[in-house]
Structure 1
């Protein structure tokens, strides 16, 4: 039992779970496009998310994460370096359009943690900007890159889907901000810091409603998309109203981040059995 817990903790601590969540959202995009998933793109997204998140988690946000030992930290570092090598391997198999998009998204991710000048602030420390940068980068990896890979025009439906994905990520981040209220510097001006927990929950529910209703703005709606977005929206609302559970490490790091995986499984299940 102790070994299983250690493996599970590493799965969470090394950002494998969040990487699966991001490729799940990319998988949903491929389903919406009616296109087969590109294993090279999915591999690149998976390993690059691990590298990016571990860099941020154990760099600029290390104060939030308790590392049980220096040896454990070294193992995560080694895992991150190996993941970086795999990310480059898969990136080299992709089109140059994806390289350019990745360069922009990567620059935003880097500026989130590293300032341009020694005396300057990074994007994370610019009041209120942190959550929007994360949402944009997630949407870029899970919507823009699959669309570029499928060589589909960046049309109206793409714009709607991109904004919806940003809204989804914003909502998914709120439980983390509520959990981290006791640790985050007040200069970050997170939603719970500015509006309080109750109003942040109300804001999240409002964003979920917008996320769902925007589906009707699309020119082409995927089969079962409305139903599956409704199920997803209900799941998100249930998470937001579970305030007490947000203080649990496993509730936020596992169950909240598992929502995109659940969403992808719904798409896969309906397309294969209905």
Structure 2
């Protein structure tokens, strides 16, 4: 049992779980927009997500990510570098258009993590900016990247899907923001620090309603989309309802981050049921 727990904790700590969540959202985009995304882009996003997330988590200061003393973190570091090598190999198969967007997303991620400003260590140090950057990067990686790799132009439905994905990630970040309230520096001025736990949850409810409502702005709406989004809407509301400052160990790190996988499974099951 101890070995299983160690493997599970490594699965979470090495960002494999969150990378699977991102991977699943790319496929949700493909299913939603009815496009075929090349397998190399899937692999790049999955393995690149592992490396980037671990860099942001463990290497906010670059020298700490290079000179690792802790054996457990060193194992994660080696695993991350291996994933980055695999992701780098996939770059040879991607188009120039995808490269441009990858550069933009990589630049934003770097500004988020690295100390590039004189008065702020990095962009995440700006009050209230952290969750907006994370949501924007997720939306760009899981909607815009797969869309521009196939489509010649950004259609209305792609724009709506991007806005929805941005809101979806903001909603998922609410439990993390509330969980970290007791650890975050007051200088960060996070959402719970500004409006309190209940105020943050109310904002989360508002984002959830907006996320669901703009589904009906799509021009290719069908019963599968409505059914999946309705179930997801209920799950997100229940998640926010259960969110508090005292959370069980895996509530945010596993169950909340599993919601994208749940969305993907809902889509797969719904598609099969309509065939």
TM-score strictly above 0.5: yes
Q: Distance in 2 between matches of 1:104 and 1:248?
A: 36
Which residue in 2 is equivalent to 1:200?
200
Q: Distance in 2 between matches of 1:101 and 1:249?
A: 36
How far 1:244 moved relative to its partner? 4.3
Residue 81 in structure 1 maps to residue 72 in structure 2? no
Which residue in 2 is equivalent to 1:131?
131
- Summarize the Cα distance change of 1:152–1:209 in structure 2 as closer, same or farther, 3 Å threshold: farther
Which residue in 1 is equivalent to 2:237?
237
Please list every run of 5 or more consecutive structure 2 residues that lacks an aligned counterpart in the other structure: 62-68
Residue 8 in structure 1 maps to residue 8 in structure 2? yes
Q: Is the 8 A contact 1:246 1:252 kept in 2?
A: no
How far 1:35 moved relative to its partner? 2.1
Which residue in 2 is equivalent to 1:113?
113
How far 1:59 moved relative to its partner? 2.2
Q: Which deviates more, 206-215 or 35-44?
A: 35-44
Q: Which deviates more, 69-78 or 262-271?
A: 69-78
Coordinate RMSD, CA, aligned: 1.7
Q: Distance in 1 between matches of 2:216 and 2:152?
A: 21
- CA deviations 1:128-164 (Å, max 9, x no partner) are 1110000000000000011012224202211111111
Q: Is the 8 A contact 2:178 2:245 kept in 1?
A: no
Q: How many residues align?
A: 268
- CA deviations 1:185-238 (Å, max 9, x no partner) are 112211111110011111101100000000111222244111111111111111
TM-score norm. by structure 1 comes to: 0.93
Residues 148-187 of structure 1 correspond to what in structure 2 (within 5 A)? 148-187=148-187
- Summarize the Cα distance change of 1:216–1:16 in structure 2 as closer, same or farther, 3 Å threshold: same
Q: Is the 8 A contact 1:175 1:246 kept in 2?
A: no
Which residue in 1 is equivalent to 2:45?
45
Task: Tell me the secondary structure at the aligned position of residue 242 of structure 2.
Answer: coil
Which residue in 2 is equivalent to 1:71?
71
Which residue in 1 is equivalent to 2:216?
216
- CA deviations 1:47-76 (Å, max 9, x no partner) are 111111101111239xxxxxxx81111100
Please list every run of 5 or more consecutive structure 1 residues that lacks an aligned counterpart in the other structure: 62-68
Q: Is the 8 A contact 1:23 1:45 kept in 2?
A: yes
How far 1:29 moved relative to its partner? 0.3
Q: Distance in 1 between matches of 2:34 and 2:212?
A: 20
Residue 59 in structure 1 maps to residue 59 in structure 2? yes
- Summarize the Cα distance change of 1:117–1:207 in structure 2 as closer, same or farther, 3 Å threshold: closer
Runs of 4+ residues deviating >3 angstroms: 117-121
- Summarize the Cα distance change of 1:204–1:197 in structure 2 as closer, same or farther, 3 Å threshold: same
Task: Tell me the secondary structure at the aligned position of residue 241 of structure 1.
Answer: helix
Q: Is the 8 A contact 1:44 1:90 kept in 2?
A: yes
Q: Is the 8 A contact 2:178 2:244 kept in 1?
A: no
